[in-house]
Structure 1
Amino acid sequence: MVEIESIPIGPYRIGPDHSPLVIAEAAVNHQGDFETAKRMVYIAHAMGAHIIKFQIHVLDNEMLRETPQSANFAEPLYVTLDKTNLSIDQHRELKRLCESLGILYLCTPFSRIGADMLEELGVAAYKTGSGELTNLPLIEHIGRKGKPMIVSTGMCTIEEVGETVALLRQLKTPFALTHCVSAYPTPYDRVNLGMIARYRELFSVPVGLSDHSRGIYTGIGAAALGACLIEKHFTLDRQQPGPDHPVSIEPDELSELVKGVDAVFRGRGAERQIFPEEREIVAWARESVVSEVAIPRGTVITPTMVWVKRPSPGPGAVAAKDLKKVIGKVAKTDIPKDSQIRWEQLNA
């Protein structure tokens, strides 16, 4: 078993011995409307999410205007992000709101300036997107700030993940990885939940899932496989236009994800004993050896005279597993029909 050291993130710890954290990824699903962004904070908190995460874009510091777009964008990438970007003052107010409610605020930067703005804001940790995994200059810039990092790993090779891991280890930056497939939506046969264990074995760090498949199934499945955090895009209405809404979960689904992930985490043990909660069931659910007929004293017991039936054997009674030990014994007393047979009723 690989030893995984947990890392701190705000009031929580990320690691295999801690219940998985659920991140509601707001991204640009607020459409750039600040009131909607605040409402998302309130609802994510009410649904039990541990963290809500936004994005901050300083566009001319992170991309050229001619950057192409993927099929989930209706407009050029630069235009979409420009329309939906929130100001640093709005982020500051969102962070204050999160602190007042007790949900952790996180935000993904995509540039040096964005990371520096978040540092001034006093964020507890940094989450980097899959597109930045191979951006080693930015990873190093963020890593040198000394805050914990959550690093997504979509669109990459194992070798590229290894390069980023080596850099963060060199910087002594505490970090976790999230397995991710950057397809919107991710088909279930591309989710590859087995990568959670593979990353854990390869890199000995906490591993989570940043999930773009539909619904909450794979998130709950990831918790069963040891994921330490689950990130899902979150929306108030999946029918809204926008690049992420179709693969996002709505409030009721977020609530079920939080409950499901915690239930699965608590159910992951490998202990086998008779638990206290089972004992009253044991009293009726097990079987003992009983007489099928009246057995007079002095009779040699044959297979047709006895069988196994509920309830469980009381003190001195013969348990079902010992049926064969009864055959051939001699009854020392009269044994009525339909009664549990006790060892004291049989010769040695």
Structure 2
Amino acid sequence: MREITIGNRKVGPNHPPLVIAEIGINHEGSFEKAIQMVDDAFEVGCECVKFQTHVVHDEMVPNNVIPGNAEESIWDIMSRCALSKEEEYRLKKYTESKGMIFLSTPFSRAAAVQLEEMGVVAYKIGSGECNNYPLVEHIARYRKPIILSTGMNDINSIKKSVDILRKYNTPYALLHCTSIYPTPYDKVRLGALEELRDTFPDAVLGLSDHSLSNYPSFGAVALGASILERHFTSDKNWPGPDIPISMDPKELKELIEGSFAIFQAIGGRKEILEAEQPTINFAYACVVTLRDIEAGEELTMENIWVKRPGTGEIKAEHFNSLLGKKATTNIKKDEQVRWEYISE
């Protein structure tokens, strides 16, 4: 069975989807903003918030590379947005005091060590590190559940990371992801979930989505996703490279409620439910007389037909089998026909 446990939360096909509010660096280095986003996520029923842990000097060398969704270098962005270890510890403690799950993505070995020292219950590895096999192995050695995003990686690349996770018997989940900000709907490719399911039968599956609505996430649940992750902000007017693709509290609430509704709706078999009987009672049609019928009279299209309600003994499906048979007794007009009234 595909299932992992994060803290006390079981995650897999037999459980409601885990919705992760990806706060990331939307706080822009402000601890107060980070706290506000935790509060706002909690108020709409979110179970899990996720941050990013950046130890910049261990993560990258100084550079002038500008991400596609930003106007300054990645070095400058992360230098400005990185929270201190003490601030992250306080965030974790505050989040967990509200009964929520605290997750963070380490972008370097030093960041992973820092999170392990903080006692996190699980790790999220971002798409950019999916093929960073030395870092994947470092984190896998902790043998805590790992949620691995797979954007910018194909099946062969993902297999190498999964082999590492299996080597250490690390519980894991794979999130399909498209690393385009924002992601056009025709680039979301929910069909990848089936490919991941077939290739990695022991993986819990999910979607990390960068589109501009909840629609892909809802579709993913119907296709078996057990984890949904989207960027989150308290205010879409705040500055930050990820703000334009982030959901606000209203959208987060809709994602939580909608994904749970879809989870409840999937599965089952095409069979008649006991709870449908009250509807059957009025909606089905049964064989009734169109006029008085005398004993011995032949049943024809002119003297019997099918009408509601569905409380009669002979349902419409048996109508044709009655034609040509004879009544064994007098039957009044508009009476529901019974089998005992008909000759064999």
Would the TM-score normalized by the shorter structure come out above 0.5? yes
Report the count of equivalent residues: 343
Shift of 1:277: 2.3
The aligned residue for residue 35 of structure 1 is 32
What SS class does the counterpart of residue 77 from structure 2 fall into? helix
Q: Distance in 1 between matches of 2:56 and 2:323?
A: 86
The aligned residue for residue 240 of structure 1 is 238
Shift of 1:313: 3.5
Matched, 1:78 2:83: no
Q: 1:327 aligns with which of 294, 298, 323?
A: 323
Q: 2:14 aligns with which of 14, 17, 26?
A: 17
Shift of 1:96: 1.2
- After superposition, the C-alpha distances for 1:30-75 in whole angstroms (9 at most, x for unaligned) are 1211111111111111212221000111111011111512221121
Amino acid at match of 1:214: L
Amino acid at match of 2:258: G
Q: Distance in 2 between matches of 1:276 and 1:49?
A: 34
Q: Distance in 1 between matches of 2:177 and 2:163?
A: 19
The aligned residue for residue 275 of structure 1 is 273
What SS class does the counterpart of residue 303 from structure 1 fall into? coil
Q: Distance in 2 between matches of 1:61 and 1:164?
A: 21
Stretch moving more, 295-304 or 110-119? 295-304
Shift of 1:183: 0.5
Q: Distance in 1 between matches of 2:33 and 2:279?
A: 51
Amino acid at match of 2:136: I
Shift of 1:117: 0.5
Q: Distance in 2 between matches of 1:248 and 1:53?
A: 13
Shift of 1:24: 0.2
Q: 1:121 aligns with which of 93, 111, 118?
A: 118
Alignment of 1:249-328 (within 5 A): 249-314=247-312, 317-328=313-324
Amino acid at match of 2:320: K
Whether the 8 Å contact between 1:290 and 1:309 is mirrored in structure 2 is yes
Q: Distance in 1 between matches of 2:340 and 2:166?
A: 69
Whether the 8 Å contact between 2:282 and 2:311 is mirrored in structure 1 is no
Q: Distance in 2 between matches of 1:249 and 1:277?
A: 38
The aligned residue for residue 169 of structure 1 is 166
Alignment of 1:13-162 (within 5 A): 13-162=10-159
What SS class does the counterpart of residue 10 from structure 2 fall into? strand
TM-score of the two chains, using structure 1 as the length reference: 0.96
**What root-mean-square deviation, in Å, do the aligned CA atoms of Structure 1 and Structure 2 show?**
1.2
Q: 1:197 aligns with which of 194, 203, 216?
A: 194
Q: Distance in 1 between matches of 2:317 and 2:101?
A: 55
The aligned residue for residue 338 of structure 2 is 342
Amino acid at match of 1:201: D
Shift of 1:306: 1.2
Shift of 1:100: 1.3
Structure 1 segments (4+ residues) deviating >4 Å: none
Amino acid at match of 2:83: L
Shift of 1:271: 2.1
Stretch moving more, 262-271 or 223-232? 262-271
Stretch moving more, 212-221 or 287-296? 287-296
Amino acid at match of 1:169: R
What SS class does the counterpart of residue 331 from structure 1 fall into? coil
Whether the 8 Å contact between 1:289 and 1:323 is mirrored in structure 2 is yes
Whether the 8 Å contact between 1:74 and 1:242 is mirrored in structure 2 is no
Q: Distance in 2 between matches of 1:313 and 1:330?
A: 23
TM-score of the two chains, using structure 2 as the length reference: 0.97
- After superposition, the C-alpha distances for 1:230-267 in whole angstroms (9 at most, x for unaligned) are 00000112233211111111101100101111111111
- After superposition, the C-alpha distances for 1:284-317 in whole angstroms (9 at most, x for unaligned) are 1111001112212221111121111111133xx2
Amino acid at match of 1:253: E
Structure 1, unaligned runs of 5 or more: none
